Amino acid sequence: MTTTSPDTRRLIFISHATPQDNVFTTWLGAHLASAGYEVWSDVTKLIGGEIHWDNIEFAVRDHAIKMVSVLSKVAITKRGFKDELSLGVAVERKNSFSDFVIPLRLDDLDYSDFPPEVIRRNAIDFLPGWQQGLALLLRKLDEDDVPRKSQVDTDSLSAWASSFLKAEDGVVEEQEEVISNTVPVITLPKSVFISQIRTGASRVPSCIYPGPVEVRGKLAVSFFRLSGIDSSNYVHVSEMEFGHFLSEGGADRLSCKKSDVRNLVVKILRSAWEAHLKSLGLLQFTFSNGRNGYFRKYSEAAAKYKFIGPTGIVGRRALFGRSEKKKVYWHFAPEIFPSYGDSIDFFFKPRVIFSEDGLTPIEESGRSHRLRRSFCKSWWQDKWRDLMLAYLASLTSGDMLIRVPLSDVAYFEVGITPKLFTSPVTFSDPDRVSPDIIDDIDMCESVTDIEIDDFDDEDLESLEEEVE
């Protein structure tokens, strides 16, 4: 008999080794909070004078819907961590919860050394990269229908950020508009077509189709009538209004969960997006996390793309350049990928790659890593912001939208103006140059796009090689 209904539980409890894994835990908590989840961790929730164990037990027994257990070489030696893990497994069994404890692998802890409570479970691996692990964790939480808020609790998020940055002294209670790395999908297609795969049909190369096709079981989803193009392999079943497909109809027709429909839509949008970037002449580079970045080859007649930001920022930036000191070319090659939460948006992750010929990316990970660390060291936040805005502007035909074909008649449109968020606080750092001054300087630099490579870091790079 359950003591607490899952419907009354909302907290994601993060169990970790203190203080060794505090930085990761605070980083993870901030990202989960920004995604709308309610997060509990002793890094930010416990205040001096509270009874440590009573708070943890209360949170896990009565309010947690998931316990995220951060496994590391240090954590498995900590008595408190092991007690928390045992408590989580006990709560899971008593209440018959499914996957209540989610193990994360933070470092190179051998899987055979996992605590016995979770040794047979699939752990989400954060060792290849924190962002990559976060994406898998968010997918798991979404699949398990963990509740989250449609509006992010800015007060809670500010508390997490304040703890992470140790910036309490510089926090000022004054609202500030913040440019995000998210651009909205403005227009979606009107209809989606669901087709049945004929018995014994062979797989047909996707190159014959005018847009992406996703298959689930014996049904195929597309934005064009497959039977009209490939009647030997597909039978037309139905045409469904796209909004209905997203809300209820898709899950019913495909006999799956709503989250599966969302994932299917995201895959279609991503395929169409990447095909569109290739059609514009951009080149593809696959990063270690499996995602693709798209970049422009170097040209001596370097185009500088004019942009207008959401807060009135105006400037120009080149998206590639040449470093004579390092004898390499740099290319801005961001990851841009769709995500379906309360709305469908595209997320922008800035990336820089290097080449020796202006065309072929350097594959050697160690060298690329050292180049990024030294070459981009003095690229401040405003530089990355301008590159994002210029890159988005470069994908349009002069308007403020990017139209991406889904078929010969259907398309979706992505805005190039990033979403704005209002922070309830701002940060005052007396050692930092005024943002107004930075914008004035940057406007001058944007005209000629001065290369940020004018500092002497050869000794630093050599020292990094020795350390590594």
% of the chain surpassing 70 pLDDT: 82
Between CA 227 and CA 234 the distance in angstroms is 5
Average pLDDT over residues 281-290: 91
Cβ atoms within 10 A of the Cβ of 361, count?
20
Average pLDDT over residues 375-380: 85
Tell me, what's the pLDDT at 161?
Answer: 58
Higher-pLDDT residue of 159, 120: 120
Instruction: Label residue 290 left, alpha or beta by phi (over 0 means left) and psi (-120 to 50 means alpha).
Output: left
Report whether pLDDT(413) > 80. yes
Report whether pLDDT(446) > 70. no
Strands 292-295 and 283-286: antiparallel
Report whether pLDDT(54) > 80. no
Cis peptide before 19 (omega within 30 of 0): yes
Tell me, what's the pLDDT at 456?
Answer: 33
Tell me, what's the pLDDT at 452?
Answer: 29
Report whether pLDDT(436) > 50. no
Q: How confident is the model at residue 49 (pLDDT cuts 50, 70, 90)?
A: very low
Tell me, what's the pLDDT at 465?
Answer: 34
Higher-pLDDT residue of 103, 451: 103
Instruction: Label residue 450 left, alpha or beta by phi (over 0 means left) and psi (-120 to 50 means alpha).
Output: beta
Tell me, what's the pLDDT at 462?
Answer: 33
Between CA 114 and CA 116 the distance in angstroms is 6
Fold of domain 6-166: Rossmann fold (3.40.50)
DSSP state of 321: E
Tell me where in the chain the CATH 3.40.50.10140 domain(s) lie: 6-166
Task: Show the CA angle centred on residue 34, arms to residues 47 and 384, nearest 5°.
Answer: 115
Contact 63, 40 (CB under 8 A): yes
Least confident of 99-108, 358-367, 430-439: 430-439
Tokens of 47: 């205040």
SS3 323: strand
Report whether pLDDT(58) > 90. no
Tokens of 304: 């500088």
Tell me, what's the pLDDT at 53?
Answer: 52
SS3 413: strand
Across 137-201, the runs of DSSP E, i.e. the strands, are: 171-172, 176-179, 182-187, 191-197
Give the DSSP H or E segment for 353. strand 352-355
For residue range 415-428, list pLDDT tens digits in order. 999 999 888 877 66
For residue range 294-330, list pLDDT tens digits in order. 999 998 776 789 998 888 889 999 999 998 988 999 9
Q: How confident is the model at residue 453 (pLDDT cuts 50, 70, 90)?
A: very low
Tokens of 166: 């140790």
For residue range 141-151, list pLDDT tens digits in order. 999 999 987 66
Q: Of how many residues is the chain composed?
A: 468
Contact 195, 219 (CB under 8 A): yes
Report whether pLDDT(244) > 70. yes
Q: What is the mean pLDDT of the chain?
A: 83
Task: Show the CA angle centred on residue 40, arms to residues 37 and 41, nearest 5°.
Answer: 135
